Amino acid sequence: MTLLELEDVTAFYESVQVLDGVSLSVPDQGAVGILGANGAGKTTTLRAISGTVRTGGRIVFDGKDIRGMRPDQVAALGIAHVPEGRGTLGDLTVRDNLRVGAYLRKDRKAVDTDIEYCLDLFPNLQDRITSNASALSGGEQQMLAVARGIMSKPRLLLLDEASLGLAPSTARNVYDAIHRLRTESGIAMLVVEQNANLAFTLVDSATVLETGRNVLTGTSAELRGMDEIRRAYLGG
């Protein structure tokens, strides 16, 4: 079953059009990548879904047309956006950031269980549970951003550049944990990544954007085997 479908989506900042007909679909419990160079429109595609940019076209989540909904309405339907730059709340502790992620939930007991799950998934956070988020390393902040997304118990996670600015081994750790999350939770994922090699460890398929349109879509195995993908995104 398809969980999320974008059909011919356009997006605008003021009067400037930056998406020019993006289409993609994410199966229920599936993971799909969005690849492309700087400025191709990857982040804007995630913003189009979470309702933070003006859009045209069709955006259907779980059978419902969500295009034009407010960000809080989209979140309430079960879409969690982990933004580029992480967006953790620096003045709050790790534990409070996790609680904030769960603010829409009523099942308080399950919230505590899920906090424990996040700490098991990201043991570094366990050691920093009473630290303010602003005191964390870049890798720990990224882990916290993902964990906060999980705390809303989403059906779909939008992940923007989870590896950005991290040392290669830290980026691997973060992706390994997200992979484990995927296997254990069945949360569907739409993943923006500049590092295609890393993305392919997680996603089953991907689409490549160029100046706001899809130029290639395929399974991870297909895309990995293509010379133009190798040259542009895999370093040779």
- Which of 5/210 has CB closer to ligand ATP? 210
Residue 216, classed as helix, strand or coil, is strand
Stretches 33-41, 86-94, 127-135, 216-224: which one binds ligand ATP (CB under 6 A)? 33-41
Query: In the complex, what is the shortest distance from the CB of residue 98 to ligand ATP, in angstroms, rounded to a whole number?
Result: 26
Binding flag, residue 38, ligand ATP (CB under 6 A): yes
- C-alpha distances (whole Å) from 221 to each of 17, 74, 104, 163, 172 are 32, 32, 38, 21, 19
- Which of 43/141 has CB closer to ligand ATP? 43
Q: What is the DSSP string of 126-171?
A: HHTTTSBGGGS-HHHHHHHHHHHHHHT--SEEEEE-TTTT--HHHH
Query: In the complex, what is the shortest distance from the CB of residue 37 to ligand ATP, in angstroms, rounded to a whole number?
Result: 7
Options 30, 33, 41, 139; binder of ligand ATP; rule CB under 6 A: 41
Query: In the complex, what is the shortest distance from the CB of residue 25 to ligand ATP, in angstroms, rounded to a whole number?
Result: 19
Query: In the complex, what is the shortest distance from the CB of residue 14 to ligand ATP, in angstroms, rounded to a whole number?
Result: 7
Q: How far apart are CA 59 and CA 6, in angstroms?
A: 5
Options 4, 32, 33, 44; binder of ligand ATP; rule CB under 6 A: 44
Token pair, residue 83, equals: 């933004």
Residue 192, classed as helix, strand or coil, is strand
Options 43, 50, 170, 205; binder of ligand ATP; rule CB under 6 A: 43
Q: Check residue 231 and report its DSSP letter.
A: H
Q: Which candidate, 65, 50, 57, 24, places its Cα nearest to that of 160?
A: 50
Options 4, 42, 61, 200; binder of ligand ATP; rule CB under 6 A: 42
Q: Which residues bind ligand ATP (CB under 6 A)?
A: 13, 16, 18, 36, 38-44
